[in-house]
Structures are given as structure tokens and as C-alpha cells.
Copies of this chain bind each other. A is one copy, B any other.
Amino acid sequence: MPDLTPEEFRRLGHRYVDWVADHRAGIDDLPVRDDVVPGSVRSRFGPEASDGAQPLDALLPLVDDVVASADTRWQHPGFHAFFPANASLTSLLGEILSTGLGAQGMLWSTSPACTEVEQAVTDQLARALGLPEAFTHDGGGGGVIQDSASSAALVALLAALHRRSAATGGPAWRETGVTGTERVYVTAETHSSLAKSARVAGLGERGLRTVPFSPGTRTMDPAALADMLRADTADGLTPVLVCPTVGTTGTGAVDPVRDVARVARPHGAWVHVDAAWAGIAALCPEHRHLVDGVGLADSFCTNAHKWMLTAFDASLMWVRDARSLPAALSITPVFLRDKASDSGAVVDYRDWQVPLGRRFRALKLWAVLHGHGLDGLREHVRGHVRMAADLAERVRTHPGLELAAPPSLGLVCLRTTEGDDATRVLLEHVNASGRALLSHTEIDGRYVIRVAFGSLGTTDRHVDELWALLSGS
């Protein structure tokens, strides 16, 4: 029967591990992004897969040739685009165990270990982040690993739709679907995944309401939110979810979670805090203010796969009521009926997510916590925050550059003083160097360069190199 024998795997596994070790050891000498012609990778594959088997030793030079020369290197220390995606080597050890065990944790009974390690690790992380005890499994809520913050936002919205319809005594969302009156409240800085969630859930774009910023900020104005909620309710609309962001994608802005939640709750709206990027920083006492007010929220999300040394996918989501996601999402066909589930003594994580199947993702989190400890994670965050402060200070004192927004943790938004075209040229100049990769956004209609520190292996030398490119020195 096919598959490698354990002994073949032992030999090949060592070689593949060595390939990764060599790749990472040499990554700083490669460009952050290769210049790739669309179609050039596909063209290396024939139209048909081979009928015959080929030695797996021979796949490595093929991968070198076809893939490793046509990539954008998210693990490069000069990668400062978008947000980081820390595929640490430590978490890869966890992934090896996860696929090695090959468990499928849709029900508690289909992998008690997969289920309970996820409960234990998310409880530990809730406490490490300073979330209220109510968000732990021990405390009546609980954590779950989603594939992405997009999926976390979607299931939060589904739980909100269910809760809202159950509370109003109107048509039941599980039975008759959405009514067209449901509204979701965001700002212009909220991640596009909230708009996508509203669309997926059948609300359409009209389901999304954009709350203005407080004057002089890029954060949600609680007073404006209060006005909108009152007016919408008076118009017969149904506020279902308000999403404050802790660390927006554009500029790292932090919405006032406590004030937003205080306004939203009396209207029966679910409060989902999207801290996808910045939430991890709350591991550090000096950034603990980032979770201020989260105790008033219904759900909270932050991505271990961004800035917490954990390979994608590992989006951490916590809810204050462990029943809320199953209440919205459970469907039990006869082939999934199970004694342990019926007992109510266990968590079946399939009811906490859209897909049925699930991998043992908690193992890589366990490996990261074990191998680095909370202090290691704090050191990781602090190093990048320090580099961002360093870069921001250099920008402040440079005559041709200016900060486009207040620096936020590891994120610096800057532009030239000469206008959008010059800023665009500067971004292209940096990216063409191969030594750093930056991305862009717009603030008040103006083109802005984003520098997001957070990648593995970034050091002060990389900040110096980047500065030389940005400053023309």
C-alpha cells in the first residue's frame, strides 16, 4: 500500500528538516521578494500528473528551482509589509507532531486530546493576555482556534444573529434566516473581513454601518455610535453587532472598547473586539491597556499567527458564553450523534466554527509556549515595538519625511513631504532593493507607506538598512 514506511520517512524527514534549516539560515541573503512574471511558475508544470512515483529526494531540487525562486518571503527579516506572519521554527515542530498524530477534532470523542489541549492552552493564553476569567472554559466562556480573524468575525456575527433573534422573540434566525433589518457597526478603519462577513451572512453591504471617527482621531466615536444605534432602532432596524478594533490594519488605531461596549450593550448588540494584530501585545504589562473594557465585550480575537511566533493558521478567539457559538452553529445528523456529546460534559469544537473537520492546531501553540515561555513572547513584541519607536524618531527628525499617523506598537505610517507621487516612488525604491518589503495604505485620501515590524529575525541592523533606503543616506 502507498505511503512512506516509518523508516523511509525518518530518512527523508531529516532531509526536509535540513532543507528548511538551510533555507532559513540563508534567507537574509535572498531578496525579500522575487520579481516574478505571471504564469512563469505554472508553466513549469506539465498538463498531466505522472502515473509513476518519483523519489522524494528529487522533490527538493524541484522546489528549489520552481518555488524558492518565485516567492515573497514572509519569513525574511526585511519583511515589513501588511502584518507579520511568524511561521517560527518552534511552531513547525508542533506542526510535525500535529500531522504526525493526524487527529481530526470535530467532536470531543474524535480526539479528546485535540479538544482539551485547545481548551487548556486558550485558557492559559486568556489569562496571559489579561482577559477576564469569564472568557476561559473554566469560567463559562472559552477559547477556540479559528483559521483566521475573518472566520472569527463571521462566527461572532452568526452567534449575534442567533442571540438577537432569540431575544426579540421575532422570526428565529436559525429557522427563517435574516430579515434584512440587521445592521453591523464598524468604522472606515475596520478590517474588510467585517464587510465580507456581513455579505456572507446575507446582510449585504447595506447591513454595514460606518460609524464616524472621534474628531481628530481614526477611532470609533462612541457618541456617534449611540446616535446611530438610536436612529436605526427608531427606523425599525436591528443592531446585531458592533466591532471595535484594537490596532487597525491601516494605522494601528485603537477604538475605545469600553465606551463602545457601554453604548452597544443596551441595544442588545453583540460586541466583537477585533485585535487580530495588536492583541498579542497585551502579553506585556505595559500594553495591557489594549484589553481595557474587553470584559464588557462578547468576543475577542487575536492572531497567534501574526505576531506570536505561530505558523498560520492559528487565530485565537474567545467568547464570554460557551453556549453562544453552538447555539448558532450546531446541526447534528445521526452519524455525528455521540454519547460524550449528549452528556453535555465536553466541548465539540465543530459547533464553534463553520467547517466540520479540524486539525490539532493547539500543539503548535503548546510548542511555542513551552519553548519560549511568556517572557520570550514578550521579548519578541518588545523588540519590534522598540524598533518602530526608533524608526519613528528618525522620521520625525528627517526634513523630507513625516509621520502620517501616530506610531502604534510595531507599526509606523510615514510619507514624504513632497506628496503622493514622491511617496509612491519611495515605496517602489525600497521594495525594488530586495532588502525590505513595505506596503501602503491611504489616510484622508493621501498615499502612505506602512512599516510593520514583527518578523522573525529582524534586528537593529535591518532597521539601519531600511533607514538608509528610506532616507536616501
Does A312 contact B357, Cβ atoms closer than 8 Å?
yes
Report the separation of the CA atoms of residues A329 and B199 in the bound assembly, to the nearest whole angstrom: 8
- Residues on B with C-beta less than 8 A from A331 are 192, 195-196, 199
Check: A91 CB closer than 8 A to any chain B CB.
yes
Which of A89, A117, A367, A372 gathers the greatest number of chain B CB atoms within 10 Å? A89
* Contact string against B for A residues 421-445, beta-carbon threshold 8 Å, 1 for contact and 0 otherwise: 0000000000000000001111000
Contact A456 B1 (CB under 8 A): yes
| Smallest beta-carbon distance A378→chain B, Å | 9
Given known contacts A51-B374, A180-B176, A375-B53, A99 and B103 CB-to-CB distance under 8 angstroms: no
A366 within 8 A of B: yes
Partner of A336, one of B42, B192, B457: B192
Q: Is the CB of B72 within 8 A of A109?
A: yes
From B92, B115, B201, give the contact of A202 (CB < 8 A): B201
Measured between beta carbons, the chain B residues less than 8 angstroms from A90 are: 2-4, 56
Scoring A residues 111 to 145 as 1 if CB is less than 8 Å from chain B, else 0, what string do you get?
Answer: 11111110111011101100000000110000000
Task: Evaluate whether A127 and B47 lie within 8 angstroms (CB atoms) in the complex, with A71-B112, A309-B3 already known.
Answer: yes
A3-B90, A120-B41 known; A204+B376 contact, CB < 8 A: no
- B112 and A52 contact, CB distance less than 8 A: no
Least distance between A31 CB and chain B CB atoms (Å): 13
Given A203-B202, A312-B359, A354-B150: A24 and B9 interface contact (C-beta under 8 Å): yes
Check if A467 is an interface residue, CB within 8 A of chain B. no
The complex places the Cα of A158 from the Cα of B196 at a distance, in Å, of 11
| A49 at interface, CB cutoff 8 A | yes
Nearest-CB residue, chain B, relative to A121:
B45
B71, A1: Cβ atoms closer than 8 Å: no
Copies of this polypeptide in the complex: 2
- Whether a CB of chain B sits under 8 angstroms from the CB of A450 is yes
Stretch at the interface among A62-70, A222-230, A259-267, A288-296: A62-70
Q: Which of B6, B18, B50, B206 contacts A177 (CB 8 A)?
A: B206
Q: Let me know if A178 is at the binding interface, CB within 8 A.
A: yes
Shortest CB distance A402–B (Å) = 19
Binds B, one of A80-88, A213-221, A318-326: A80-88
A371 contacts partner chain B, Cβ-Cβ < 8 Å: yes
B72 A103 Cβ-Cβ under 8 A: yes
Tell me whether A196 and B2 are in contact in the complex, defined as CB-CB below 8 angstroms, given that A10-B17, A48-B127, A124-B45 are known contacts: no
**Cα distance A332–B441 in the bound complex, in angstroms:** 12
What distance in Å separates the Cβ of A4 from its nearest Cβ neighbour in chain B?
4
Determine whether the beta carbon of A355 is less than 8 Å from that of B150: yes
Indicate whether A249 reaches chain B with its CB closer than 8 angstroms. Answer: yes
Residues of chain A in range 317-358 having any CB-CB distance to chain B below 8 Å: 329, 331-336, 340, 343, 345-346, 354-358
Determine how close the nearest CB of chain B comes to the CB of A87; give it in whole angstroms.
Answer: 3
**Given A89-B6, A90-B4, A124-B49, A63:B97 Cβ within 8 A:** yes
Q: Which 9 A-B pairs have the closest CB atoms?
A: A202-B202, A87-B102, A20-B100, A177-B204, A13-B17, A41-B116, A45-B120, A148-B355, A178-B202
List 14 extra interface pairs beyond A148-B355, A313-B359, CB under 8 A.
A1-B379, A3-B372, A6-B21, A9-B92, A12-B93, A23-B101, A59-B366, A67-B101, A74-B102, A150-B355, A150-B357, A176-B206, A191-B333, A196-B331
